[in-house]
Amino acid sequence: MSQTEETNMYELYYWPTIQGRGEFVRLLLEDVGADYVDVIRKPDTEGGGRNALLALLAETGHFAPPILKDGETIVSQTPLIMDYLGAKHGLAPTDEAGRREALRLSMLLADFLVEAHDVHHPLAKEFYYEDQRDEALRRAPSFRDTRIPKFYGYLERTIAANGGYLVTGGLSHADISLFQIIEGMRYAFPKASARLEPDYPGLITLHGEIAARPNIKAYAASGRRIPFNEHGIFRHYPELDG
Amino acid sequence: MSQTEETNMYELYYWPTIQGRGEFVRLLLEDVGADYVDVIRKPDTEGGGRNALLALLAETGHFAPPILKDGETIVSQTPLIMDYLGAKHGLAPTDEAGRREALRLSMLLADFLVEAHDVHHPLAKEFYYEDQRDEALRRAPSFRDTRIPKFYGYLERTIAANGGYLVTGGLSHADISLFQIIEGMRYAFPKASARLEPDYPGLITLHGEIAARPNIKAYAASGRRIPFNEHGIFRHYPELDG
């Protein structure tokens, strides 16, 4: 983890027991070797815990985590954090149109993430899964058979049109988000993923390229990456996987 | 409708029979008096219709409407269009942090919009409302009693902290989006809106200020504004209004 002279120690605020939206940011920070503190994962006695989040929300007026603090700059909404860090660390096109394109694709992936979550929570975040399991069972086939192919197909065509990456000009933060989406889908829908992935070779090649990046490999092996679990956005309920 | 020398005639591509996400863009274009063509609303024989959309999607590789064409520049994802037009027409802060803040709030409003839609379509976009009405009835109370107050309360505090607008420094595109959210909520949830709105005076004052802007008034009176209906995002199903 190197620290450039211009860069503060980043502070990331995100739920401490799930990958969730925060994991997109963690992956980018890890990939670029940034110095960062995952604040809420620290103990209360060291300024961490939920009280640290509540204090930040009260101080800054932001809505919800993930929230990135870079000195005086506060950024929330996952795609905006990715855009901000991507531009700062060479993971975004430098021209305005290209940078907007990477952000657009990051927002598209965030839309897909909401759908992947709502498969297991179609009625309300406030209800337990068990209280909306029947509804989830009705929603899941449409997600597997219609929505995944719609998004994956679009992403595949986009990658094919842009030389192997989501945005022309090489790797960007949007590709890192795509990597995490594929990771989550493999966890939550292993059978559907195994069945569908062969139709999207460009997408799988790009996922593999990112998985093989040294800092991403090191992060995966470090024990710092919180395992997927049934409290996060991607949840493995076998009955929803068909 | 004035046209400045620097500005091309904008082309907006959005579904022709609903307000939907396109209405946020239409309102901004109307407010600033921009010259624009609502392409898909034109007849096929004049280069409009769904074929015009299909041709644009094939040509540009964008995912879905609304899509804005400004000469060679193509922008999609509603908050990004609002950010782009807002910056161009003086409806966004000029500093980077302020502009990001307006975009963040626009994205937050887009998140709320998804929830307002999913109240009547909790299971899948592909099913009719009538086929998920029971599930909608289960979801609606949580939306009315928990989600609306959560978002409205946050927006109210944000407005109070920023001198009457969502972002410090005066009116921005995010406020125009907020106006449209309130409009849609009043249409879809008239009883809940009437009950809840008195708790959020800053929000209602801001809505009223935008409603009174001359170009917005003229647009509302013009007959060009498509009425809300039960094909759009905001739908009035009385049984969901409590």
Question: Cα–Cα distances in Å, from B79 out to A10, B1, B28, B168?
Answer: 26, 23, 12, 18
Is B188 a residue whose pLDDT tops 90?
yes
Q: Cis link prior to B66 (omega < 30° from 0)?
A: yes
Question: Quick one: which of B39, B41, B43 has its CA closest to B55?
Answer: B39
Query: Would you place residue B1 in the very low, low, confident or very high pLDDT band (cuts 50, 70, 90)?
Result: very low
Instruction: Give the ipTM.
Output: 0.94
Q: What's the whole-number mean pLDDT along residues A154-167?
A: 98
pLDDT of residue A123: 87
pLDDT of residue B179: 98
Q: What percent of chain B has pLDDT over 90?
A: 92
Distance from the Cα of B136 to chain A's closest Cα (Å) equals 8
Q: What's the whole-number mean pLDDT along residues B4-26?
A: 88
Q: What's the whole-number mean pLDDT along residues B189-198?
A: 98
Query: Would you place residue B4 in the very low, low, confident or very high pLDDT band (cuts 50, 70, 90)?
Result: very low
Element holding B133 (H helix, E strand): helix B133-142
Q: What's the whole-number mean pLDDT along residues A118-132?
A: 88
Is A190 a residue whose pLDDT tops 70?
yes
pLDDT of residue A125: 78
The CATH fold assigned to B96-213 is Glutathione S-transferase Yfyf (Class Pi); Chain A, domain 2 (1.20.1050)
pLDDT of residue A6: 54
Long-range contacts, B133-136 (Cβ 8 Å, 24+): B133/B237, B133/B239, B135/A122, B135/A123, B135/A135, B135/A138, B136/B237, B136/B240
Is A76 a residue whose pLDDT tops 70?
yes
Is A101 a residue whose pLDDT tops 60?
yes
pLDDT of residue A5: 47
Distance from the Cα of B240 to chain A's closest Cα (Å) equals 13
Distance from the Cα of B150 to chain A's closest Cα (Å) equals 10
Distance from the Cα of A84 to chain B's closest Cα (Å) equals 9
Cβ-based contacts of B63 with chain A (< 8 Å) = 108, 154
pLDDT of residue A93: 98
Q: Which of A61, A114, A135 has the CB atom closest to B123's CB atom?
A: A135
Cβ-based contacts of A157 with chain B (< 8 Å) = 61
Is A1 a residue whose pLDDT tops 70?
no
Tell which phi-psi region holds residue A47, choosing left (phi > 0), alpha (psi between -120 and 50) or beta. Answer: left
Interface of A to B at Cβ within 8 Å reads 61-63, 73, 75-77, 79-80, 84, 97, 100, 103-104, 107-108, 114, 118, 122-124, 126-127, 132, 135, 138-139, 142-143, 146, 154, 157-158, 161
Least confidently predicted of A131-135, B90-94, B110-114: A131-135
Q: What is the tens place of the pLDDT at every residue in A20-68? A: 999 999 999 999 999 999 999 999 999 999 999 999 999 999 999 999 9
**Average model confidence (pLDDT) across chain A:** 95
Residue of B nearest to A161 (CA): B61
Contact flag A139-B124 (C-beta cutoff 8 Å): yes
| Calpha distance B218→A2 (Å, rounded) | 57
Q: What is the tens place of the pLDDT at every residue in B152-175? A: 999 999 999 999 999 999 999 999
pLDDT of residue B3: 42
Partners of B73 in the β-ladder: B70
In chain A, domain spans: 96-213
pLDDT of residue B7: 54
